[in-house]
A and B are shown apart, each in its own frame.
Chain A
Amino acid sequence: MNSDQFRQAFIEESMDLLSSLESRLLEMEEAPGDREKISAVFRIIHTIKGSSAMFGFNEISSFTHHVENILDAVREGKLSVSRELITWTLKSGDHITALIEGDSDLEEKEALNRKSDEIVTSFKNAVGFKPTDVRGAQPPLAAEPEKTGKDAVLWRVRFKPSKEIFKNGTNPLLLIEELCELGEHLVIPNISDIPNLDKIDPELCYTGWDIVLLTDKAENEIRDVFIFVENDSELQVKQVPQEEFDLTDGESPKLGEILLNRGDINEDALKNLLEKQKKLGQLILENKMASKEAVDSALNEQNFIKTVNEKRSEKAGASSLRVNSDKLDELVNLVGELVTVHARIDLESKDTSTEMRSMVEQLGRITESLRENTMSMRLLPIGTTFSRYKRLVRDLSNDMGKKIELIMSGEETEIDKTVIEKLNDPLVHIIRNSIDHGVEDPQERIKKGKPETGTVKLTAEHAGASIRISIEDDGAGLNRQKIYDKAVKNHIIEAGAVLSDEELFGLIFQAGFSTATKVTNVSGRGVGMDVVKRQIESLNGAIKVESREHEFTKIILSLPLTLAIIDGFLVSVGEDNYIFPLTVVEACLESKFKERKGGSKKMVPYRESLLPYVDLREEFGITSDRPEIEQIVVVRSEDKRIGFCVDKVLGENQTVIKSLSGVFKSAKGFSGATILGDGRVALILDTEGLLKRSLLNEESMANERYS
């Protein structure tokens, strides 16, 4: 959904709310003592205020804020439900409708704003509302109530402008207001420096602020607010540590911790005080450890965090909806069809009217947003799978008399739900192997000078278009000689063959391959690692092993983020089209065959070095004529760069991945296929696979030459 569509959704929702406001108000008039009816009216205005602030309708949000204050006073019993109150609330409802429907004409806007002021003043006078009727007279917390998303972080901002700040024309209040626009906030001014009237110089600034800000913006964006005054002012921007902030429902952070983290008090002095077990705030003041302002400010932050956490837990309960995963799969399929149909319409409408083109472009934008939204619905944090393994490690290590700690990181890394589901079995196998064959028993570990408790580290991280999951134990490591001997014995390799670590360790994925001398009920039967490899490959993933004897074994899984739709990079070679995953593409270079020819190695200059490349025309045996100028697509593959020489670059493409049938299983270098707008099929290139395939081809050609 783009911002216009969000705004439209807001308008529709507000219109619904305003129509129910009328009927609720009339019911309220009939039963003025019914508190539930008063609350219902208050909730409607409160909702409109919150969502209008969120969608940037500041005039509506500001106007409804005043109406809400009056209705809150009614809820509190400070004002009664009178005829005037109903009349003015109805008028306010009409005015909100006018504000929503008002167009962007500046004059009309100004007229509406003037009318907002008139209505607020008349409303307040008619019902006898006083500023002191505002509950707790707190600044409005709900300025951006919807920004309590899970990525929001809490910041402490301390801003003390230079005394001379007025003299260069800066208005600090505007900075505070700009800062508050970044998220939910609590503003606490520090005014202890303001002198008495006979000593005050009105041209000097005596005020500072502590602002607690809940926002998903980065520190730089917060600092940017103060960019022109930072040099002359005192500015501190500190993130509130997550553990201090993420408290369970209803719990608030400790006052001492807040003051300590702000640097307002010192830790030892705090400990001494805590031993006395008196009220901390009073003790801090009595002992003059911090000013009353600092303590007050910290108390406010404590309350703010409590409120935010309560709101969060309320929201978490209210804003999620369980959907059958089959429905989600069906939705993804339909979106895939839509993407394909759009590509077709796009192609067919190339030579049609401008109006038609503009409609097709709009359809394209909507399709892309729908695709992104749908795909994000399928992403789940991998932590949901990781947490199952705590129990596995605990039970297995107890059974085997080993002491093992499972350390997890990157649990928040998101991956397609289909991948997560299929990942469970392979991970269980690998972790079992680590516990059984990897980590030694405590006596042996002590003998080796290792800590008695072994560790298994489970890590997930994003790496380009893939996710990398590693399982590392600090156990015995792989024994090169044992693997080699076993491979020779099983006729997997010839005796005397020279293998790199990667090739040798790769042998453990062969069927029936186990070097364990003891078969346990956990592992050692040679069944497992080959299955693990097959399962990972069925997910278009890759697996590799790193190990050092007596030190560690690390199994690294690389998996695609999604198995459904990706952003592709369309190229052509001869008559056929191919797709690279866009996330691996780094650059494109023009290249002439004549200029490349000559050297025996396939290398082209790139960024002051030489880039190896694979010529896809040669690789796929395409014999048609080469274009004069070809393109080298530079991709990142794991930690290296490699070029792929193609005829033409056709551009970005929303690629719906269709898997290849078993017939093409032996065709290495392709991860799937997609249907283009003209109905033709384009193969999706697996750059790693292509590279391996190309190296194998070269080797066999070399062998042929020598034989």
Chain B
Amino acid sequence: MNTNVMKILTIENAAAAANELLKSLKSKKDIVLDLSMVDRVDLSGIQLLISVQNTGEEQNESFFYTGTLNKAVFDKISNNGFCFIPKEEDSELFTIRRSSGEF
């Protein structure tokens, strides 16, 4: 089952969100975090999403995000140089990466 990420991911509640996310990572081996509930994010929140993803990918067997993103959240993340990479074609699971080039 997917775990919903908090509605607001900004500096005001990032510490609480970090604790909650840390608990989620420890609760299962395969993690899917649903971002469809998130309707506000700032840089602190984006850093948290990257951090939880890095930690999840290191410690858990698998880690992905899912969910249809709110427009404002999508804009905030993509306008600042991040992109959404699907697990595989047509998959609803994705990770957040910085926009990258290829060799």
Alpha-carbon distance A191/B69, docked complex (angstroms)? 22
Cβ of A189 and Cβ of B51 under 8 Å apart? no
Cβ of B47 and Cβ of A200 under 8 Å apart? yes
B80 proximal to A (CB < 8 A): yes
Alpha-carbon distance A281/B100, docked complex (angstroms)? 13
Q: Which of A66, A191, A281 contacts B98 (CB 8 A)?
A: A191
B11 proximal to A (CB < 8 A): yes
Cβ of A189 and Cβ of B83 under 8 Å apart? no
B58 proximal to A (CB < 8 A): yes
Question: In whole Å, how far is B58's beta carbon from the nearest beta carbon of chain A?
Answer: 7
Given A131-B74, A172-B43, A197-B22, A203–B14 Cβ distance below 8 Å? yes
Interface centre among B91, B101, B103 (most CB of A within 10 A): B101
A-B pairs under 8 A by CB, number: 143
Which chain B residues (53-97) contact chain A, with CB distance < 8 Å?
A: 54-55, 58, 68-72, 74-76, 78-86, 90-92, 94
Q: Which of B14, B25, B99 contacts A187 (CB 8 A)?
A: B99
Cβ of A299 and Cβ of B102 under 8 Å apart? yes
Question: In whole Å, how far is A211's beta carbon from the nearest beta carbon of chain B?
Answer: 8
B50 proximal to A (CB < 8 A): yes
Chain B contact residues (Cβ within 8 angstroms of A): what range?
A: 35 or more
Given A202-B15, A202-B44, A194–B51 Cβ distance below 8 Å? yes
Cβ of B101 and Cβ of A139 under 8 Å apart? no
Question: In whole Å, how far is B99's beta carbon from the nearest beta carbon of chain A?
Answer: 6
Cβ of B101 and Cβ of A300 under 8 Å apart? yes
Q: Which of B68, B81, B103 contacts A125 (CB 8 A)?
A: B68
Q: Which of B14, B47, B71, B75 contacts A207 (CB 8 A)?
A: B47
Question: In whole Å, how far is A178's beta carbon from the nearest beta carbon of chain B?
Answer: 11
Given A131-B94, A197-B18, A202-B11, A139–B84 Cβ distance below 8 Å? no
Given A173-B42, A187-B81, A202-B44, A197–B101 Cβ distance below 8 Å? no
Binds B, one of A100-108, A116-124, A338-346: A116-124
Cβ of A296 and Cβ of B14 under 8 Å apart? no
Alpha-carbon distance A298/B84, docked complex (angstroms)? 20
Alpha-carbon distance A282/B102, docked complex (angstroms)? 11
Cβ of B101 and Cβ of A302 under 8 Å apart? yes
> Which residue of B has the minimal Cβ distance to A118?
B71
Q: Which of B52, B68, B91 contacts A197 (CB 8 A)?
A: B52
* B positions within 8 Å CB-CB of A: 11, 14-15, 17-18, 21-22, 25, 42-44, 46-48, 50-52, 54-55, 58, 68-72, 74-76, 78-86, 90-92, 94, 98-103
Q: Identify 12 residue pairs between A and B in the complex whose beta-carbon atoms are under 8 Å apart, listed by A's number.
A: A117-B72, A132-B86, A139-B83, A187-B79, A194-B54, A197-B21, A202-B14, A202-B47, A203-B44, A205-B43, A206-B47, A300-B101
Across the A-B interface, give the 10 residue pairs with the lowest CB-CB distance, nearest first.
A299-B101, A202-B14, A137-B83, A132-B86, A187-B81, A197-B55, A189-B81, A196-B55, A131-B84, A300-B101
